[in-house]
Amino acid sequence: MPYVNIKITREGATPQQKARLIEGATTLLVDVLHKDPQTTVVVIDEVDTDNWGIGGESVSVRRSRSQAPTPRQPVKLHRAAVSGHCHRVELMLSLLGVPVDLVDVNLAKQEQKSPQFLTMNPFGQVPVLQDGDVTLADSNAMLVYLCQTYGNANWLPRDPVQAAKVQSWLSVAAGLLAFGPAAARARALFGRAFNAEEVAARAQGLFAVMEQRLAQQPFLVGAHATIADVANYSYIARAPEGGLSLESFPAMRAWLARIEALPGFVPMVHTAPKAVTP
């Protein structure tokens, strides 16, 4: 099978020259992969990963997007637009280009507790994903299903170590993120009975760890986006709605911008906080 190795030397090059070199390499590789799908290895040396590709998306990601299967009919996502758990699944669907019918669930009217809804998710929570005969009721499980069904190994690496790193960030999304920034937002927006100091402390601890990690690499698990980034994006992006400032975390804000630059990105709605008694 063909092997492609392109080396770009950056010494003495201006930023504009570097950008042209990278764009030229991108065009060349896309052409090679299009003409010979059996090409399996691409090595890029000395390329700034922040500038490589488009919005952090590698050539192999874009190649896989064009070859990924699509469902026979749009999948259904039962969601509430204000929920970050729901948005992470909507974002994943859009990044993968999977057709979707969004079914809004009125949480104020407790529609998620109706007998019909409980047949899909006995826990009475959104989101719920339906894809043909498949029904899933956990947002992180949905990310795994979607990237393995309609995506590629970039979103969830097959390498055991890299896969374990992704899984650790899914655990963060279900733990510190949910009971830190997400809880602070739920308290501010919906009057949920969380202790303000406790959730703020959890959030600040999480932000510190993420800031350190993202100061060293573009995405949570390395040079390109994975479902780890998708799982953690929504509640970090809307943390200010819970009274949590991101101003002191430049690397984290740059990470948010990189995700927002990915092809297919869709934003989460902004919601104005209501007054909450301390």
SS3 262: coil
Residue 61: both structure tokens together: 């990601």
Q: Which residues pair with 41 in a beta bridge?
A: 3
Residue 232: both structure tokens together: 């953690």
- What is the phi/psi pair of residue 133, to 5°? -85, -5
SS3 5: strand
Residues 210, 222: Cα–Cα separation, whole Å: 13
Do residues 75 and 129 touch, judged by C-beta distance below 8 A? yes
Residue 2: both structure tokens together: 């063909």
Pairing of strands 100-104, 41-45: unpaired
User: Which run of H or of E encompasses 269?
Assistant: none
User: Which run of H or of E encompasses 44?
Assistant: strand 41-45
User: Which run of H or of E encompasses 254?
Assistant: helix 250-260
Cβ-in-10-Å burial (0-12, 13-18, 19+) of 38 comes to exposed
| Residue among 2, 15, 99, 267 flagged as catalytic | 2
Residues 170, 258: Cα–Cα separation, whole Å: 19
Residue 164: both structure tokens together: 């374990």
Residue 237: both structure tokens together: 């992006």
Residue 157 is a catalytic residue: no
Residues annotated as catalytic are: 2
